[in-house]
Amino acid sequence: MLNRVILMGRLTKDPELRSTQGGSNVCSFTLAVQRKYAPKGEERKTDFINCTAWRNTAEFISKYFGKGQLMAVEGRIETRSWDDQNGNRRYATDVVVDDAHFVESKKDSAARAEDSGYMPDPDALGDLPTISMDAEDDMPF
């Protein structure tokens, strides 16, 4: 069996770091990932994908990534279900992140955030460029 996901998108808000009762760190965030194609005459749609990272990966993401920043993640899809207060069956699908990667330099990310104040509306994302990092880019480590 194979369950592997690779995504690149922008964080819709700052990642949220918290700890479980057992002391494990967990980080939740949502990536806005624009679809590759659009029907003729229409704008491309954006999917908002819930992601969860655990332990060291959770700490890394919460420390070095913020709202509006372009990031790439690798992980797997997990589904879960539960019954709500009204007895209705609910389902959720998340990407459990194993690795997170920088896609743009801190300088580019800061300039984009400063210029736009990020995007107030997730539907107003526009094109998500693919930016390769060079060895000379300013890295946080």
What pLDDT, on a 0 to 100 scale, did the predictor assign at position 60? 96
Ranges of the chain with pLDDT below 70:
106-141
Tokens of 14: 């700052």
What pLDDT, on a 0 to 100 scale, did the predictor assign at position 31? 97
What pLDDT, on a 0 to 100 scale, did the predictor assign at position 108? 67
What pLDDT, on a 0 to 100 scale, did the predictor assign at position 109? 64
Domain layout of the chain by residue ranges: 5-123
Instruction: Please list, residue by residue across 100-125, b when 16 or more beta carbons sit within 10 angstroms of its beta carbon and e when fewer do.
Output: bebbbbeebbeebeeeeebbeeeeeb
Express as a percent the part of the chain with pLDDT over 70: 74
Name the 3-class secondary structure at 118: coil
What pLDDT, on a 0 to 100 scale, did the predictor assign at position 120? 39
What pLDDT, on a 0 to 100 scale, did the predictor assign at position 38? 86
What pLDDT, on a 0 to 100 scale, did the predictor assign at position 134? 43
Tokens of 104: 């743009």
What pLDDT, on a 0 to 100 scale, did the predictor assign at position 104? 83
Unique residue bearing structure tokens 């890295």: 139
**pTM of this prediction?**
0.72
The CATH architecture that domain 5-123 belongs to is: Beta Barrel (2.40)
Q: What is the pLDDT of residues 59-90, one digit of tens each?
A: 999 999 999 999 999 999 999 999 999 999 99
Q: Quickly count helices (H) and strands (E) in the chain.
A: 2, 6
What pLDDT, on a 0 to 100 scale, did the predictor assign at position 3? 96
